Amino acid sequence: MKPIEFHINIELDNTLAAPLLAERTQLPLSQIKLAMKKGAVWLSDKNGINRIRRAKKSLAKGNSLHFYFDQTVLDTEIPLPKLISDEEDYSIWFKPRGVLCQGSKWGDHCTIHRWIESNDSKHRPAMIVHRLDRAACGLIVIAHSKQMIQNLSGLFKQRTIEKKYKAIVCGEFPNHVELIAINSEIDGRHACSKIKKLEYCPKKNLSLLEVHIETGRKHQIRRHLSEHGFPILGDRLYGGGNSVDLQLAAYFLSFKCPLTTHIKEFHLPRELQPSF
């Protein structure tokens, strides 16, 4: 079945969402309930437009339901995220390749924050503080309260969080004692990446790099390295081929903990980092 949208105006008070959708779409009620749980149903009311997940949600006259049905999206499964460190009001997770940081109108069950909310035994809200590309993997910070997301977002805006990545690139990257800085605008905005070669594999003609970023533009590391002549292995968008998955991982985070004011350091386990 091709993706299809349903937009339904509510004509009676106390209308139940799931039975109404089943009636109008001719889909089984069980399928409707699952689609709601996965974030494919939205409600327009006095509070704006928001996802609704409860099958027994009672609707008022004048509300509108929006159902974005794409069976391919709803059937998608993701690799399991892994908890690295639980700091109570926030936590550090490993985001595997293929896991999203942002959902769409068709669903949000493949996002890391929604997966955490659905599977965390502590039943806490989970909010994205920063993002990683879908194709990339690595450490990501999740906030569990509104106050904490404000605190952590402030650290990112102030650029007081140290982030390091590892990437395997095509070719032999130059040897330099100091970090090589790439300063070139991305989408008209300043962007700076600093790079150091860690290893070179002559047999495969690949280099393992450590990358520090001072800004967080979209696809910054991927674009900077490709423009510099060293696309990341597996980067289908920027010239790294498609023989393997994207070899880019956020492997280190350091910042002053908003709870304790102590400097915290988090490392991605070595077995999850890119290697030859």
> Active-site residue 187, yes or no?
no
In angstroms, the CA 59 to CA 50 distance is 13
Q: Measured in whole angstroms, how far is the alpha carbon of residue 6 from the centre of its chain?
A: 27
Active-site residue, from 13, 70, 108, 133: 133
In angstroms, the CA 12 to CA 59 distance is 8
In angstroms, the CA 228 to CA 12 distance is 61
User: Residue 94 contacts by C-beta under 8 Å, 6 or more apart in sequence?
Assistant: 81, 82, 83, 84, 137, 138, 139, 140, 268, 269, 272
80 burial class (0-12, 13-18, 19+ CB within 10 angstroms)?
exposed
Q: Which residues are catalytic?
A: 133
